[in-house]
Amino acid sequence: MGLIKQAIDSVMNTGKSAIGSTLKDQYKEAIRCPNMPENLLMKAVTSPSGVISNGSIIVVDPGQCAVIVDNGRVIDATAEGGTYEFNDSSTPSFFAGDFKESFKEMWKRFTFAGQSSQKQTVYFFNLKEITDNKFGTSSPVAFQDWSHPYKNEMTNSMMPLAVKIRCYGTYTFQISDPAAFMSLVAGTASEYRKDDVVSQMGKEVEGVLQNLMNELGNSVHKTPVLELPSQTDEIRTMMDQQEFDKYFRERGLRIRSFVIQSVTLTEESEKAIKDYEFAASSAMQRGRMTDAYANAMEKAAENANGAPAGFIGLGVANMAAGGAGTGAVNNMFNQAAQPATETYDPYATAAVAGAATKAAEPAPENPVGEAPADVTPEAAPATKKCPRCNYDNNPDSKFCGNCGNPLQ
């Protein structure tokens, strides 16, 4: 039993009613599955009697695949659009295009002793790309962010910052092997819809996503974490080369596109990036250290055990930090202590020059009101010597600053 392609494909362009009338006039039965919606992946169609009569016609629309099953065994299949006559005296044709070999293998596995059956069904498969399938991470996934590298002091090598992210996006898939899909997923159900498979696919998509994250975050690609949504072409290439959808392919499905629409960091990862960027900015470090040290000094002055105790504790903490606090504050004060740029004042400059000239002139021998040069005024004693220890004290001192002995 097999299919024989007929040369009446032009009739298909005239509409459904024309097809029905034409086929009804020439053939016993016409079996087809028109307008398969996107949410319908497989549908079983048979004649009213459940038996496909010899000479019946089977119409396969573009984007469809038809598999004829005779009481559980595959007797023929085609994935090429067109009109076919069912002939129980011919051998299987398998006009299957890319699926030809898989259909032949399926035919061998499901062929019995060649006995005729009492139930024959045509299973139509939707080969179009099934779109608008959403995915989201149920829990954060790990990512190596090379846009924030750090040096590993033990190995002296650069390492990426490990972050965790949540991703949301969409993917499309397609039935890539109807034989495998029928054997492992849909079976011989009368109808199989998109909703029957996407619930399971959604769980496995997370595994695909983690494989993509590992690849995009490795030392070859070094994709920045916030640029993941723009990696659509790279993701498509990786899916083809690495076969991250391997488990889908084994069941006759294939992910055609995988688009990450949004990426959000966990709170811990956001903090890690902020700390990284702060550590990379010395100006921010000095500013924050100065503020922290100033606040600590203010708190120390308000210490309940007294300001000295508070400052002692602050000093101990500063020494433990290698003088980071005082270093930051000293830098601030050193910058403030730099001499200001002097402004040129012509009047002040002239006054200074005049004073210098006057100071350079010789003084008169006997200025009016001054004592003659040969008269020396009595000088006041410079120190007050202690009679006990001979220590030189201030002339106004009442007691010796060395031994405490009263001074006259």
Nearest to 36 by CA among 76, 6, 66: 66
State the alpha helices, DSSP H only, in 75-230: 100-110, 178-181, 195-216
* Tens digits of residue pLDDT in 264-295: 999 999 999 998 888 877 545 555 555 555 56
* Tens digits of residue pLDDT in 207-261: 899 899 999 999 899 999 989 999 999 998 898 888 888 889 999 999 999 999 9
* Tens digits of residue pLDDT in 174-198: 999 998 899 889 988 999 999 999 8
Domains of the chain, CATH where assigned: 2-126 (no CATH), 130-175+193-270 (3.30.479)
Query: Lowest-confidence range among 60-69, 147-156, 250-259, 381-390?
Result: 381-390
pLDDT band at 8 (very low <50, low <70, confident <90, very high): low
Q: Would you say residue 311 has pLDDT above 50?
A: no
Edge-to-edge strand order for the sheet containing 40-45?
Answer: 73-78, 64-70, 120-126, 40-45, 191-193
Nearest to 265 by CA among 395, 399, 164, 394: 164
